[in-house]
Amino acid sequence: MRGRCRYRGAVLLETLELARENGAKPEHLRALLESWLGGEPLRLDVRGFPPARRLVAALGTIEAQLARIGRVRSEHPSSDGATRLLIELADGAAVESVLLARGGLCISTQVGCAVGCVFCKTGEGGLVRQVTADEMLAQVALARARAQVRRVVLMGMGEPAHNLEHVLAALRVLGAEGRFAHKHLVFSTVGERAAIEALRVHAVRPALALSLHTTRADLRRELLPRAPKLEPREVLELALDYSDAITWPLQVQWTLLEGVNDGDEELQTLGDWLAGRRAMVNFIPWNRVEGFAFARPAEERGKAMVAHLRSRGIIATLRTSGAQDVEGACGQLRARSLPLRRRTGARAATEGSDSSALSAPFTPQ
């Protein structure tokens, strides 16, 4: 994941280069990037740096190139105030983002997913392809053109750790030109050692959400068949150590499956592991997916689990997933407009430009 990878597309890089060729100074590039990421009309106004005439003339072409990265094919408002966005990418692939209530945005980092969580629709067809950094940023830009976004969570389609090079490049931009506080960026993962180690030394260190779901090694292998072969306690300690280093609490994600991982023994073990640690637990009742043989526990059971952990001094919540009525909740996202082609390689790459060049041009010097 740290090596040199190749992916299709780098439209943002090409667009910035076009602007340079037409006389853009670093200050103009920054203004272009900030306005695009903000979902605003592109601007070149920089105090003390009047743009060249040819750069002003090229603004329409620059805008058209950025629009190529992705477009909203359809919007699906939910009764709870969330909105699922179906986004078509330049090659016809599709990803989904969810505008959440209170300024949150959930974005996708892959088309499909290779982890294959048995309770999640996204991974049912395997991994189709990686999402490039500019495609992740486009999801933010398109969402901000529709609503205020104060927090970005990488919890949509895909496992961010399996597309780490592009995810890190996107995080760098979101933390700089995107003007997001690092703690308002959330990296969600099933727990990849190399990814967590890379985050520790990255310029932008986001909050971490760990999809744990169980304390039992045998059950975790069954629920997350292609997750790293780490014991639940081991992956939890890796994540807790990272959160100690960045001083923001770890978010432990736990999809509640009736009769599977909602028992007293699991709850007791989880409480033992988290006692006195910098963490919070989000219990997420399973969101119904057609054809999947699971059920969510009664609400009273979820509340009792939260109460038990709170009685031990552990922050815990019973989370209601937004956009359930438009299939935009956790575990329901999928590439609806694209027949999924099964690929199980977590690092399957598509041909194209070199992602190792992504980070430098995004932050003009």
Residue positions annotated with a catalytic role:
96, 330
Q: Report yes or no: 143 and 171 within 8 Å, Cβ to Cβ.
A: no
In sequence order, the β-bridge partners of residue 359 are: none
In sequence order, the β-bridge partners of residue 151 are: 104
Q: Which residue has the tokens 């109460």?
A: 307
Residue 32: both structure tokens together:
């272009």
Residue 121: both structure tokens together:
């629709």
Q: Give the residue among 242, 174, 153, 208 at the shortest CA–CA distance from 36.
A: 174
What is the spatial distance between Cα 173 and Cα 180, in angstroms, rounded to a whole number? Answer: 9
Give whole-number Cα distances, 352 to 66, 128, 139, in Å.
17, 16, 20
Q: Give the residue among 77, 62, 74 at the shortest CA–CA distance from 28.
A: 62
Q: Give the residue among 333, 314, 319, 326 at the shortest CA–CA distance from 274.
A: 314
